[in-house]
Every structure is written in structure tokens, then in C-alpha cells.
Chain A
Amino acid sequence: MKIRLLAGLLALGLATACGGATVESAPSATPAEGSASASAPTGTVKIAINPWVGYEASANVVAYLLKNELGYTVELPEIKEQLAWEGFETGDVDVIIENWGHPDLKKQFIEEKKTAVEAGSTGNKGVIGWYIPKWMADEHPDITDWKNLNKYADLFKTSESGGKGQLLFGDPSYVSNEAALIKNLKLNFKIVTGGSEAALIKGAQQAQAQKKPLLFYFWDPHWLFSKTELVRVKLPEWTEGCDADPKKVACDYPEMDLDKIVSTRFAQSGGKAYELVKNFSWTNEDQNAVADDMTNGGMTGEEAAKKWVEANPAKWQAWIPQ
């Protein structure tokens, strides 16, 4: 058996020429074969799915159009934000459809390793922040200023927060300055990880409906804002460069222009699929409508995408490459 293993290794070694093996030469790494020259493009596009519903909404609409308008096969692998960037290199990912900043990853993967390239804005504006249910702001008007958070820390205590106030966080992979903010603003709070977007939504809905205190991490665009009244807590205002060093962040999140990232390979050989991804751009309202259908309308991603596509032909027809 060992001999077979060696033989296999040797055979593969010969197959990949004598230059040694790089990660990209792995057989699992099949790039999207949307042949640019052929008239009827066929191939597989892998759009990474990050774990929040707004992202899924965008991914499903693009996937729907790739499938039904351009005839591609689309895979939607569940990969978290930062791993997805690594997936560009191994060939597990072609497209990240909604990227939230990540200047460090851009520097590393776009500038240094050159495995990824930017593919333009999604048209969505994204802001991360700390929120409380509206009833709390009504009862304690000064609570919306971070300077007063410590005064109210006791309200936010739970069995998991170890005697401090609880700051409910989402999926471990989300963009986060929370640890640095709590440390640098000297807040008497502890991050408790709910583990998912759903945990945040459930927490927020319960907090408003049952008048339970809750301070939590959340973001816009999100359908939840149209269903539950939430108030943002003001952190020290964001200024250019105040969040340059992740350990020294003591300011709020900036408004981000969400953008698309694709693998260099896909940009070069993705053909029409790449063109479509590049052209894709819509508003926060569009995304929220699809996301709402997916979460509250009992639709699958594909059904919700179909509904939006049928209702908004003018918008998406502009994305289809000629």
C-alpha cells in the first residue's frame, strides 16, 4: 500500500511537471470554465455564502440570473468571510458578492498575492453599530450616548456575562472591533457571542416585544429595521484613520461602500459571468425586499430571487452583458 502511495505521488509529480506543486494545481481547484470565446458559455461559478441574509439575497439574485439568463451552473458553498478569501487561491471560491471593508485582506490578497481583484460596488451602503430596543431609549434618553453605558451596565447583565453588562454579538466571523472598543472606551461590558444573525434578530425582537434590556451588534442594510424599532448607540464619531490599528480602535464604524471581490482567475476567464457580477448593483431597499421574503415570507433564496427578478426587469437587464 505504501508503495502505491509513493507511486501515486510520483505519478502526480510527473503530471504536474517538475516544478513542484503549488496550491492552485490541486485537482479540486477547477476554475470557472466560462469560456470567453464560445458563444454559449457553460461553466460553474462558485459564489461564497457568508452567514447573513442580506448577503444571501444578493448572491441568490446573481445566481438566479447566471443560471436562467446566461446558462451557468452555480454553486453556493457556505464559507465564512475570511476563509472565502483563502478560497480564491484553492479554487473553492470565485466570487464574494458583498464584502464589508477588510482593508487588511485586500492588501494581502489583492496587492501582495494577487489571487483576487475588486469587481466594483454592489450599490449597497453598509453600517455596523451597537443598537438597543426603542423602549430603552424612551425610558432612559441618555443611554444612547456611549459615555452613559457604564451607568446602565447592570441592566444588561445575564447569566453568561459574568457580572458585567452583556453586549450580544453575532457570528464569530463577522467584522468586529467590539473587543477593542470595550477595552479602549473602558466599558464594563462583556461580549457574549450569540453565534448567528438569527440569535441577534431573536434577541432584538424579544427585547422590544417583552421590554427586556439588550445591547447588541447589528448592521444596516437589514429588513429588521422595518419591523422592529431599534435605536443606535452613539460611539465616538468615526474619523478617517481612527480605525487603522485594530487594537487601538476607539471610534464608531464608518459607512462602508460594500463591494464585490472575485478571484483573479475568474476575472480573467469568467467571460459573461464575470461581466454580470461586475455590473451587479442595487439599492439597500432591493436587498431588504429579497431578504425579507427569504426570512419572513417563507421563500427559499431561489424563489425570493425569482420574485424580485420578475418584478424588476429594468434593473437587472442593465447588468446582462451584450
Chain B
Amino acid sequence: MSSTAVSTPSGLRVPGWLAPAGVAVLFAAAYLVFRGTGTLPHDSEAPQFAAVTELREWIDDHRNDNPVFLYFLNYVRLFVGGVYGLFHGALTALGWPGLIGVMGALAWLAGGWRIALPAVAGFCSFGVLGLWESSVETLALVAAAVLLSLAIGVPLGIWAGLSRRAHRAVTPVLDVMQIMPTFAYLAPLALFFHIGAPAGTIATMIYAIPPAIRITALAVQQVSPTAVEASASLGATRAQTLVKVHLPLARSTMALAVNQTIMMALSMVVIANLINAPGLGSDIILGLSRAQVGIMLPAGVAIVVMAMVLDRMTVSVARRGPHSRIGRAGLAGAGALAAAGVTLGLVLPHEWPEALTVDLVAEINDAVLWAETSWYGVTTFIKDTTSYLLLNPLESLFTTAPWWLVAAAVLLAAWRVSGVRPALTALGCLLAIALLGTWEHAMRTMTTVAVAVSVTLVIGLLLGVAAARSARWSAVQRPVLDAAQTMPAFVYLLPALALFGTTRFTAIFASIVYAVPPVVRLVEEGIRNVPGTVVEAAASAGSTPGQLLWKVQLPMARRAILLAANQGIVMTLAMVVVGGLVGAGALGYDVVLGFSQRTDFGMGFIAGVATVLLGVMLDRITQGADRRPSPHQRKVT
């Protein structure tokens, strides 16, 4: 940034970097003077934690005699469990040929044989991988969760799309729900709905409902007002307008809502297993607790395949025109496929034939062992260097700084980037974290997030700029990014775990891989959206490509880059918290521990709340992207 100082005519004006630099020096001095004072060390026996643990014990004792449970919560549990049981029963009753046939038929109806073929192959792969039963359980859980999510989300979405007031009321709630790390839901759910499939379904629903509401609302809003007016002027009632105009016109966008809901539900599969939800998640957790990637990888592949099949099916429904019909040939093909499957299901044994499974556990474990031993030097070097040079010093900086100094830094940073109100919200969140007794662990988690986000941004900027400048590079990169974004988050943990074992670095590595694609995309778009006239003007004024990038394109894409940072932070936090499963420690581990040891339930619960607060805080610090004008605009006005 020193280049700005050089380029401004020196003399009377104070250079722009002086104030921030001065503040930084001030903070550094304050840190050196007050280091070690005003810290809030972690105490796993804090009264806050004990209080929640006691509340849990109380609830456990009164689950079957307190009226709130007896007449409300237990019924919800019962109902959701019933829906899951229904799906599971039906899917199991079809048998494997029946289910494959029916899914193939649905795929055919959705998008013709081009979709049906991969769907059939994909479902066969579950059996081949030896995961048929777990896959059916996961499918049933996802189906139950998606159905219930849509049953709640679509009406709310339509309401929010039609009424501005409803929209305003719903938006902030959805905002918080979406930046909440999924881990945080689990403890309260276990408290109210116990463990098992119903609790897992409800956890998945909470995660999957926001996109359902949001996209439905968007779909309804996008319906052209002329069509609505025309219908109203023809004397249609509001209900008729809704059913005959809004919904048909919004259909393709709403298929997208279904698509997103399914994707969200699938990405919860593993986490929901922590409260004992059945399915493929339990194979992943099994592999995790045996440290065998060979067990985890097939389950991970099965989840990715399920995601891809369901994704392609729903996307092809979304792409079809609003009034297209399915041809007779398609109907016949689909019908034949379903009938053949169901008949075979009646004839063939219920279990997937063992002769058709391929057991790869030992092979994968061997490959991982080979990678571990032969790359040991490199991976350990990377891990240790990052830990000793970056992670440990930063962690000790955050944990030994007085709390008020950190609070002041957060307040100032948020103020500068995003304005007064977000800054106060961020400060409030930070103080709440302190009051909850999770300060030290929150600081540790923040360190991990900070390191991961910085690396993500560096990589994201490099790749984004490269893609924006070279169409060919962009074309190569795009399909990779597309694929990466449809994968459930935890899938990235597996290779990280295989390479780095259970350490903080594993979580960092996984979250970088997870967060880089959207960051690259936002940066690329931001730079591409810089008006061509500006670029040309700069070029004709004799700027070198480097100058063009640093002086014109990057500053003008500031908004997009900030948005990328914001996205990166929210995604990294979610991943780092899940990383508690693989050695990330701090808040994420507290949550895991809360499920593992009854005496630590309170700590886990509160750690979950603290991750939400941390998420809101980091979001508020960086959300200035949407609100504040870029420096370029500021100078003009």
C-alpha cells in the first residue's frame, strides 16, 4: 500500500496509511505492555457449563412427565420419526432392484434417459460399494427431511414472496440460520428431541429450511407483475392467481429450491450421526474412530454419488420450460423401468448380492499407508512449519492479549470496514462469548479460522485473477469448481485426514479446499465486471498489465473481494468447527466432547452457542461489502 503514498503529491496532506499504521502501532504497544493480564483462561468446570449440564439432567429426568414434552415435543419427535420410518419402510420394501428401478424411472421423467442412466448406475454403485443398507437409510432420512422442510419452507417462502412485511420479518432469521455452523444445532436438539433418527431428521431440517424459504420467495417475486395484473384484471381471486399464475411461472426456480434443500440435507448426513442418526454418516464416523480412510472413503463416495444423482435430477426439472410435457415414449420407458425393477424386487432376495460387491477397504488403507509413509517428510514439514511459524504464535497472541484489547480491535476493524451498527453487533457477540466462559477456546478457534482464511484468500485471489485474465484458464478451472461446490463439506476432511493425521492443520487444510472455489468465483466475477471502458482507458494511458491489475481492476473489484472474504470466513468457520472431529480442538472439540461425555454436555452446548456468536461477529466485521461504497466511488462523490 506504500505505493499510494508515493503517487499522491506529498506535502500538506497526511498520507492515508498513517492513521491505520498509527492505530496498529498503538495496539502493538498496548499488547506488549498488558500481555498476560486480563486474559480469560478456559475452565471446563465453569458455572455456566455446570448449569446447562444440570438443565440437561433435569430434562432427562422429566422427559416423560413434563407437559411440554409429553404433549408437544415428544409428539413432534414421534411424528418426524414416523415420517422417517415410513420412508425407510417403503424404500426397504422395494428391495434393491425395485428402488433402483423406481429411481431410474423418476430420473427418466425428470430428464430423459441421459439422466436415468447415471441414476441407475449411481444407485447400483451403493450396492457395489457394500453400502446398500446405509445408503437406503440416508436416502430415507434425506427424503423425510426434505419433504418436511418443503412442507414448512414453501408456504413460508410463498408468503414472504407475496408480502413485503413477511419478507422483512423472515430475512434476519434466515441470515442467522445460514451463518450458524451446523454443529451448533445438535446439542439443543439432543436436549429437546433426544437422540436417534427423529432428532437427526429435525437437525437436517433446520439446516435445509432456509434455502427452501429463500429461493421460493425469490421465485414468487420474480413472476412478472404484468402476468399477475392481467390475471387480477380478468377477475381471478388471490388464491387463483397464486395457484394458476405464480406457481406455474415460478416452477423452475422452485425446482431449484428443492435442489438446494436436498443438497443441504445431504451435507448434514455425517454431522447428524453425532446424535445417532442412521445412515452413511455412521460409516464415516466408524472410519474416523478406527482411523481407517478405507472405511470412510466408500461412504464418502456414496454420499457424493447420491448428491450428484439427485442434483442432476432436480436441475433437469428446473431447466425444463414451464409448459413442457413428457413425451409418450418417456412415460413408457420410465414405466417399464419401474415395473421391471419392482417385479425383480419381488423375485430376487432383498439383500444386495454379496458377489456383486467390491471390498476396497484394505486396498485404500494400504494406499493411505503408503502415502503417509512416503510423503511423511513433506506433510510433516508443511504441518510443523505452519504450526510453529503461524499457528502457535498467532494463538498465543490471541490468548495472551487482554480481552479488552481484542474487543477494541474487533470494534475498530468492524467499524472501519462495515460501519457503526455491525461494529456494535460484533462487539456484543464478542462480549457474550466472554460472559459464556468460552473466551480462550473462541480465540483458539479464531486463530485457526484466521490462518485458514488468509491462505484461502491468497489462493483465491491468485486463481481468480488468473481466470479473469485468461479465458482458457477459466475454462479449465470452471468444471473443477462446479464439481467442488456440489460436494458435501466433510468430504474434504478425508484426504486431509489421510495426509496430516488428527491435528489442527487437518482442519485448516480441509477448510481451505472447501472455501477456495466460491472465493475464486467471486474474485473472477468481480474483476470481469470492471467496465471494459475503464480498462481500455487505463491501457491506452500506458498502464502495464501489472499496474492495470493493482491500480484499476483490484480496487474496483473491492466489493466483490470483500464479499469473497466474507463468504470465505463463514465457510471456513463452519469447517473448522466440524474439524473438531479430526483434531482441530477448541470450540469444535468441545462440541464433540459434549456428546461424548455427559459431564461435559454443558460445555459442548455453550461452545455451540459460542460458534454461532463467533460466526455472527466475523460476518459483521466483513459484511461491509454490500453497504459501503468502494474507495473509488468515495473519491468521486
Chain B residues with Cβ below 8 Å from A160 are 387, 503-504, 583, 585
Chain B residues with Cβ below 8 Å from A199 are 291, 501-502
A21, B70: Cβ atoms closer than 8 Å: yes
CB contact under 8 A between A162 and B74, given known A12-B82, A28-B81, A92-B276: no
Among the 9-residue stretches B242-250, B456-464, B560-568, B589-597, the one with 4 or more Cβ atoms under 8 Å from chain A is: B589-597
Chain A residues with Cβ below 8 Å from B198 are 26, 28
Q: Is A173 an interface residue (CB 8 A)?
A: yes
In Å, the complex CA distance between A301 and B383 comes to 35
CB contact under 8 A between A12 and B75, given known A28-B197, A82-B596: yes
A198, B291: Cβ atoms closer than 8 Å: yes
In Å, the complex CA distance between A132 and B81 comes to 48
A87, B276: Cβ atoms closer than 8 Å: yes
| Proximity bits, A1-39, B CB within 8 Å = 1, else 0 | 110110011001100100111111111100000000000
Partner of A193, one of B63, B583, B599: B583
Partner of A172, one of B63, B67, B388, B592: B592
Q: B interface, how many residues as a size bin?
A: 35 or more
B502, A194: Cβ atoms closer than 8 Å: yes
A195, B285: Cβ atoms closer than 8 Å: no
Chain A residues with Cβ below 8 Å from B45 are 247
**Which residue of chain B is the closest to A5 with respect to CB atoms?**
B151
Q: Is B195 an interface residue (CB 8 A)?
A: yes
| Proximity bits, B268-283, A CB within 8 Å = 1, else 0 | 0000000010100010
Q: Is B320 an interface residue (CB 8 A)?
A: no
Taking the closest CB of chain B, its distance from the CB of A229, in whole angstroms, is: 22
In Å, the complex CA distance between A197 and B288 comes to 10
In Å, the complex CA distance between A247 and B581 comes to 25
In Å, the complex CA distance between A246 and B599 comes to 10
A23, B194: Cβ atoms closer than 8 Å: yes
A159, B503: Cβ atoms closer than 8 Å: yes
Chain B residues with Cβ below 8 Å from A28 are 81, 84-85, 196-198
Q: Is B77 an interface residue (CB 8 A)?
A: yes
Q: Is A140 an interface residue (CB 8 A)?
A: no
Partner of B392, one of A19, A89, A162, A202: A162
Chain B residues with Cβ below 8 Å from A1 are 151-152, 154-155
Taking the closest CB of chain B, its distance from the CB of A226, in whole angstroms, is: 20
CB contact under 8 A between A80 and B61, given known A21-B70, A28-B198, A92-B196: no
Q: Is B71 an interface residue (CB 8 A)?
A: yes
Q: Is A179 an interface residue (CB 8 A)?
A: yes
Q: Number of residue pairs across A and B with beta carbons under 8 Å?
A: 155
Q: Is B362 an interface residue (CB 8 A)?
A: yes
CB contact under 8 A between A8 and B79, given known A21-B70, A23-B64, A160-B387: yes
Q: Is B238 an interface residue (CB 8 A)?
A: no
Q: Is A298 an interface residue (CB 8 A)?
A: yes
Chain A residues with Cβ below 8 Å from B78 are 12, 16, 21, 25-27
| Proximity bits, A44-55, B CB within 8 Å = 1, else 0 | 000001010000
In Å, the complex CA distance between A24 and B74 comes to 10
Q: Is B350 an interface residue (CB 8 A)?
A: no
A78, B286: Cβ atoms closer than 8 Å: yes
A193, B502: Cβ atoms closer than 8 Å: yes
B195, A90: Cβ atoms closer than 8 Å: yes
In Å, the complex CA distance between A12 and B501 comes to 48
Q: Is B551 an interface residue (CB 8 A)?
A: no
Top 8 A-B pairs, shortest CB-CB distance = A20-B70, A198-B291, A173-B596, A21-B74, A51-B289, A1-B151, A159-B387, A172-B596
Please name 4 further chain A to chain B contacts, defined as beta carbons within 8 Å, in addition to the given A1-B151, A80-B596, sorted by A numbering. Answer: A23-B63, A28-B85, A90-B194, A247-B45
Chain B residues within CB distance 8 Å of chain A = 44-45, 60-61, 63-64, 67, 70-71, 74-79, 81-85, 151-152, 154-155, 194-198, 276, 278, 282, 285-286, 288-292, 362, 383-384, 387-388, 392, 395, 501-504, 581-583, 585, 589, 592-593, 595-599
Chain A residues within CB distance 8 Å of chain B = 1-2, 4-5, 8-9, 12-13, 16, 19-28, 49, 51, 77-83, 86-87, 89-90, 92, 104-105, 112-113, 159-160, 162, 171-173, 176, 179, 193-199, 202, 246-247, 298
Can you sample 23 A-B contacts with CB below 8 Å?
A12-B75, A12-B78, A16-B78, A21-B74, A21-B78, A22-B74, A23-B64, A25-B78, A27-B78, A27-B85, A51-B289, A77-B282, A82-B598, A83-B276, A87-B196, A90-B196, A112-B61, A160-B504, A162-B392, A195-B502, A195-B583, A196-B290, A246-B599
